[in-house]
Structure 1
């Protein structure tokens, strides 16, 4: 009864939030980009599995470059797909043709994205830096604003109306011409204004503004809590939290891991609990949000076909820390149903092991910074043996229990929709 009452209250509050036209456009837009994310996840998984013999084979034969190619044009360009689909869905919610809105948003996004020079001839190139997750927050802003302006301009009648008898496709094309010109000009002015500042671009402004309060983070317990909160709060806003804090994460926590390795070599007690190894084994257990437990629940306990299928597709990648299909496919970004467990689960997943190590119940991690894609369970054994593996499995269970009541709410909704259909 208590669980049922909690679910009803959660559903009531979250339902009001999720019915918001803007949040729904973001959610639906990211969901539309899910095929690209799944393809990119499998590409990353196949190219990044850290087995020495496998890596030597695919590297020596040139297969690795081919396996990496789909991820380069899917996951690493997710902001491009997102800005189009968010604008498309938002315009559709006003009963407007979404295709022109999506195209205008895409052009506006590119206008805001800084370019670079390539080669001896100084050819203009568009770097991938802000086309992927690092540009996602700007993509959300542009998608919503440009689409809303498109709807406003069309409603006011500032369009080119073609005479009767003109094919509908041609008429729709000219309908978006005037709004497109006005909106792209507006974002061109915005881009020019940012170029006059020290930030150079809107993308850089967003990241500089976010990174500023994080410069003094250290390697203690409260820095661990702060880092975890910042990473996952940014993810909920559609910003790749790990990419934002990566310079701080590596510059502060990686040396702490090296100190542990030096202590092992010298036969001394390990000095540091917090380091990149700790984050990889516990905080990023299944990727940001510690979502491995959630993926297991979805794959084996979901009632709706939608989430069971997504869980089974996502689970292999999640074991290797690749969970974009879950983050953008459920989605978790700007999802009021899953916001709480997405932040609480990784917090619990780091707090419990921290105090177990601080109290001496279990040993500290070796501190080796493992490559991206090192699978769960295997990384635990490398860092501390069977004891750390047991604690990691325990954290999977605990985080899964944290996610369960929240996931059950959306799973029931999906099941009702499937039954109604």
Structure 2
């Protein structure tokens, strides 16, 4: 059963989750536009940069497996805020890292706690928001992606260009402390999932989740969506600067336009998904996403305005399909196992993210002039995974209608 919240409490609940998600998303997203700066600072290529991005994802995958053994045993608010505090410390450690290896270690620690947070946020939406409004709620929380691209990424890049690559991580740690205080004030306690019934053993809930065929279908669907996006996303900025001819100082404009557009579209897509059907809206948005995905990975030297049209369309549609998709995924879980399921889903998504980033890093390379070679092939791989997810979504049963 969903926890009943008053309209005002629900609004503060979702906005607070969006704020926490903002810190978490910005911490992950900032690595992509920092690519050219970090590659120059450490003297590394696309392979090493791909591993630096993937270290966060693989650590999040491991933490998701561990979290699945205990996440449904604790009250949601307390577990989220403890994970958030540790995440803030790990992000600060990124800003203080003296070199490439220590930065990779700090990124791994941030991934450990970020993975738990990501799963808990969507679990709490499923616990507290009725099915009929769940896609809209996901849209509000997903607006954190938009706000991070509108304000967070450009500000972080401005700081990086003027104060060095460490400054953005210190800024994100400061944001995290602020939203931690807000979370203490506005998040309700969620303990309805707690049961008097004792578990047979530590992994019993995990086995229960993995023993359900519908859960497995939802997890595969989740992996396909993430894989199709993160073969392309980590290298967009490097490709834009090295191949398309976008000036490094114009990169914040790209994220400003993309973020502003997704801020508007996320709310609309969430509303449409609740009104017209989550599966139908997902299919249409995901199908439309294939066009900018192909164009973006095949672009030559373009003026800034043409790149803005393509990259903004990519941001809107690639992130937009996640709104109905996450509502579908969260609603496929049995309510009493939702925390465990979403932790495992976080693991699956993180593994897909890490594998996609690593695979793309090996499919592409830098030629003698510094241009990326092999990006079109990455685009074809992403389209294939996206089309497979579109075909697969109808096989998932959503239990949430009856909560």
Q: Same fold (TM over 0.5)?
A: no
Structure with the greater alpha carbon radius of gyration? 1
Q: TM-score normalised to the size of structure 2?
A: 0.28
Q: As a proportion of its length, which structure holds more helix? A: 2
Q: TM-score normalised to the size of structure 1?
A: 0.27
